[in-house]
């Protein structure tokens, strides 16, 4: 039975992303009846969002469940019959010279890369207090790799290029990842799973109660909040951009914008190209292909001089073939992960262009073709090799997403641990004033920057609110 007090609590949740939705769901399930969710966009999900690429459903934001050990999102995937595609162990590597490396070299590069990441985590955990805030993960790898394999300059160059792959995980170049705070981002482990039919059903499941009860106020951007105190009682006045105001006892804020200035923020973007057919798998003319794996799902293109990008910007790109998804979900689409300054250049090049217009498609293709034309079976004369749909995300232009992808602790950060704890705890404001912070940026460090982190943060604050009102 919900307590009488709880049913009287007036709760506002700002943002219908994963954290806000989870918070609302836990409160409603416990019997809270006076909950409103304010969302500036005209949709739920925030950075979990799908579009169609030439008719195929694709995720524009999150599409992985990271670290699946004891992960509540994995449970939701099972409940919603979401099709999982476990990260395959094979990968193709195209070196900075534009040539594909053989399978053995690729496997060695990959193993070494992960071994250095493990070493860096260990070093960071043991020496965090003494590491200069300006030292990056890339510097650590450079020093360690040079000592170990300096006598083989070609392999060393490939390995250092391979190390830039970390940028795809953080949305920034590996050379800006803080070594000092790397240990905070240790993950609980478990293979990553790609959601073959996207996050759509999981999102719908999380939002079920909120949507059925019609609690989301769409197109309602919150502009201002102020505390009101009368005697012992305090409440919070929430004002919308449209000038409407309302008073609440508890206000849960999930907007990233206010929180990220002291930490760092990644710039991961996704670019989808859909073709008439998956020509890169059609006939294994590629001398490196095997019968079992005509072409691997992942290709890492090292930083190179052949791509159309300004010199000096790390331009390594990871491309995933969605033709490898399980039967029923496979599509002739290539998903490019682009990050950091290189991603910014691409986004800026199409910023003013109408998506899917000729000029937009031409600009995207100008960037992408130097990469996809190096996949197996490509031919300029084969019409199947010409994309029929081009789309690039632009999270870094979106103020409602904090102008980026997710939190990342960068070089120069001196007190990230303290900043994160303060954010998570809402500087102790919640219990006394009713002001709470949720969102991936307030998640336990191991889940920082992920859907799981956002989900857990919403759950945590909801439970604290319940404790306050049920006592």
For residue 167, state whether it binds ligand FAD (rule: CB under 6 A): no
SS (H, E, C) 29-64: HCCCCCEEEECCCCCCECCCCEEEECCEEEECCCCE
For residue 454, state whether it binds ligand FAD (rule: CB under 6 A): yes
Q: Least CB distance from residue 190 to ligand FAD, whole Å?
A: 13
Give the residue with the Cβ less far from ligand FAD, 149 or 258: 258
For residue 410, state whether it binds ligand FAD (rule: CB under 6 A): no
Q: How far apart are CA 188 and CA 206, in angstroms?
A: 23
Our measurement of the distance from residue 163's CA atom to the centroid of its chain's CA atoms, rounded to an integer in Å, reads 19
Report the residue from 180, 270, 339, 390 that binds ligand FAD according to the rule CB under 6 A.
270
Give the residue with the Cβ less far from ligand FAD, 139 or 187: 187
| Locus of tokens 């439970």 | 463
For residue 100, state whether it binds ligand FAD (rule: CB under 6 A): no
Q: Least CB distance from residue 48 to ligand FAD, whole Å?
A: 5
For residue 15, state whether it binds ligand FAD (rule: CB under 6 A): yes
Site for ligand FAD in 22-81 (CB under 6 A): 38-41, 46-48, 61-64, 66
What b/e sequence results for 174-192 when a residue is b if at least 16 CB atoms lie within 10 Å of its CB, and e otherwise?
bbbbbbbbbbbbebeeeee
- 226 by Cβ neighbours in 10 Å (0-12 / 13-18 / 19+) ranks as exposed
Backbone angles phi, psi at 268, to 5 degrees: -90, 135
Q: Least CB distance from residue 457 to ligand FAD, whole Å?
A: 7
Q: Least CB distance from residue 280 to ligand FAD, whole Å?
A: 23
Q: Say how many residues touch ligand FAD, by CB under 6 A.
A: 39
| Locus of tokens 């005209």 | 42
Give all strands of the β-sheet with 333-339 in edge-to-edge order: 91-94, 298-301, 317-321, 333-339, 268-274, 389-392
What is the number of residues in the chain?
471
For residue 317, state whether it binds ligand FAD (rule: CB under 6 A): no
Give the residue with the Cβ less far from ligand FAD, 275 or 406: 406
Q: Please give the C-alpha separations between residue 88 and each of 279, 299, 324, 412, in angstroms, as whole numbers.
A: 20, 12, 10, 35
For residue 166, state whether it binds ligand FAD (rule: CB under 6 A): no
For residue 196, state whether it binds ligand FAD (rule: CB under 6 A): no
Give the residue with the Cβ less far from ligand FAD, 41 or 369: 41
| Locus of tokens 């993960």 | 137
Task: Note the residues at the interface with ligand FAD (CB under 6 A).
Answer: 14-20, 38-41, 46-48, 61-64, 66, 221-222, 254-256, 268, 270, 393, 395, 400-401, 405-406, 439-440, 449-452, 454
């Amino acid at each position: 039975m919900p307590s009488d007090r709880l049913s009287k609590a007036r709760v506002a949740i700002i943002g219908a992303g994963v954290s806000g939705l989870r918070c609302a769901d836990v409160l409603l399930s416990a019997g809270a009846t006076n909950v409103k969710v304010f969302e500036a966009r005209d949709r739920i999900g925030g950075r979990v969002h799908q579009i169609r690429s030439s008719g195929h459903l694709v995720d524009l934001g999150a599409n992985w469940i990271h670290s699946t050990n004891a992960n509540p999102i994995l449970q939701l995937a099972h409940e919603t019959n979401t099709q999982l595609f476990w990260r395959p162990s094979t990968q193709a590597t195209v070196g900075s010279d534009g040539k594909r490396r053989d399978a053995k070299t690729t496997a060695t590069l990959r193993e070494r890369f992960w071994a250095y990441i493990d070493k860096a985590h260990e070093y960071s955990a043991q020496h965090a207090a003494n590491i200069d805030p300006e030292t990056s993960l890339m510097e650590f790898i450079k020093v360690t790799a040079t000592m170990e394999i300096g006598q083989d300059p070609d392999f060393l160059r490939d390995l250092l290029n391979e190390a830039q792959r970390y940028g795809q995980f953080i949305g920034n170049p590996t050379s800006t990842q803080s070594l000092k705070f790397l240990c905070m981002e240790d993950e609980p482990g478990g293979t990553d799973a790609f959601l073959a039919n996207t996050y759509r059903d999981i999102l719908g499941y999380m939002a079920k109660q909120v949507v059925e009860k019609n609690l989301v106020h769409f197109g309602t951007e919150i502009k201002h909040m102020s505390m009101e105190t009368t005697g012992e009682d305090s409440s919070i006045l929430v004002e919308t951009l449209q000038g409407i105001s309302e008073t609440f006892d508890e206000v849960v804020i999930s907007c990233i914008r206010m929180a990220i200035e002291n930490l760092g923020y990644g710039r991961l973007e996704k670019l989808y190209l859909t073709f008439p057919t998956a020509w890169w798998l059609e006939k294994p003319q590629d001398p490196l292909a095997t019968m079992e794996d005509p072409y691997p799902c992942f290709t890492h293109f090292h930083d190179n001089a052949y791509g159309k990008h300004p010199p000096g910007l790390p331009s390594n790109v990871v491309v995933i073939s969605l033709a490898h998804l399980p039967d029923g979900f496979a599509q002739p689409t290539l998903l490019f992960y682009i990050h950091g300054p290189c991603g910014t250049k691409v986004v800026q090049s199409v910023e003013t262009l109408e998506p899917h217009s000729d000029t937009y498609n031409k600009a995207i293709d100008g960037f992408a073709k130097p990469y996809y034309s190096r996949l197996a079976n490509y031919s300029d004369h084969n019409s199947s090799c010409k994309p029929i749909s081009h789309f690039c995300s632009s999270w870094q232009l979106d103020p409602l997403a904090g102008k980026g992808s997710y939190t990342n602790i960068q070089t120069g950060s001196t007190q990230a641990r303290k900043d994160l704890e303060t954010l998570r705890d809402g500087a102790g404001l919640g219990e006394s004033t009713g002001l709470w912070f949720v969102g991936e940026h307030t998640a336990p460090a191991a889940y920082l920057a992920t859907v799981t982190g956002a989900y857990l943060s919403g759950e945590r604050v909801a439970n604290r609110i319940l404790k306050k009102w049920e006592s």
